Amino acid sequence: MFDLISNYHTKLLNAFWVTIELTLYSAFWALILGTVVAAMRVSPIPIARWIGTLYVNIIRNTPLTLIIVFCSLGLYSTLGLRLAPEGPDSISENSFRFAIVGLSVYTAAFVCESLRSGINTVPFGQSEAGRSLGFTFGQNLRFVVLPQAFRAVIAPLGSVFIALTKNSTIASAIGVGEAALLMSEMNENEAAVLNIGAIFALGFIILTLPTGLLFGWLAKRFEVAR
């Protein structure tokens, strides 16, 4: 195992760094999109609730691999939509960015449902108090409901982002040079399947364990007293 790590240490560091980048960028956009969809799902406007519900039901029941492959083959190869300028690295850069799009769109559905459960924990009387002060729906959501909802779902959001870290391996399906693609390459070149599997399992434990501990601490630190 240590010989493999020594021989591939540069590639391992680069591959796991790409995994970290995919996770961070996708988590950022998924949080924004998921918050918007959650707001739509609790909106007083029926069409907004319908669109939000349709989005969540469709995305949650669609395989992530299909979403990412559609982004690459459908949007990029077939329709010619580009997210990176032309250049020698345009193909790999476009694949990377479309992987972020796919991961963000998929994860946003789970962020939405976690956040909506947090919104449901906010006492109805507080929303009524906000309306009595003249707050619009958006202001009530922004100043009264969402701050408490986020504090209530820190731990579930941590689980969602840990799942996102592991889901980033699907990006190898469109050629993104992250951990899973390197693992496949090493399995083809080395006759040490168990050792290679152990290396990458350890790598993902190193990535996800601190995330779980951090979100667990944040959940206790910012717990809403009822």
pLDDT digits (tens, 9 = 90+) for 116-131: 998 888 887 777 787 7
pLDDT the model gives residue 175: 74
- Read off the pTM: 0.89
Q: At what angle do helices 154-167 and 193-221 cross, to 10 degrees?
A: 160
Residue-averaged pLDDT of the chain: 85
pLDDT the model gives residue 11: 81
pLDDT the model gives residue 102: 92
Q: Is the pLDDT of residue 88 over 60?
A: no
Measured at the CA of 28, the angle between CA 25 and CA 31, to 5 degrees, comes to 145
What pLDDT band is residue 84 in, cutting at 50, 70 and 90? low
CA 98 to mean position of chain CA atoms? 13
Tell me what the mean pLDDT of segment 156-168 comes to: 92
Going by C-alpha positions, the residue among 126, 144, 113, 94 that lies closest to residue 30 is: 113
From the options 3.40.640.10, 3.10.350.10, 1.10.730.10, 1.10.3720.10, give the CATH code of 17-176. Answer: 1.10.3720.10
Tell me what the mean pLDDT of segment 157-184 comes to: 85
Which spans in 168-192 are helix H?
179-189
Can you give the C-alpha Rg of the chain in angstroms?
20
Cβ atoms within 10 Å of 9's Cβ, excluding its own: 10
- At 62, list the tokens: 């669609």
Q: Could you read off the pLDDT of 200-216 as tens digits, one per residue?
A: 888 889 989 998 999 98
- At 132, list the tokens: 């009595």
pLDDT the model gives residue 41: 92
Q: 8: number of CA atoms within 13 Å, CB side?
A: 21
Torsion (CA) 29, 31, 35, 37 in degrees, nearest 10: 60
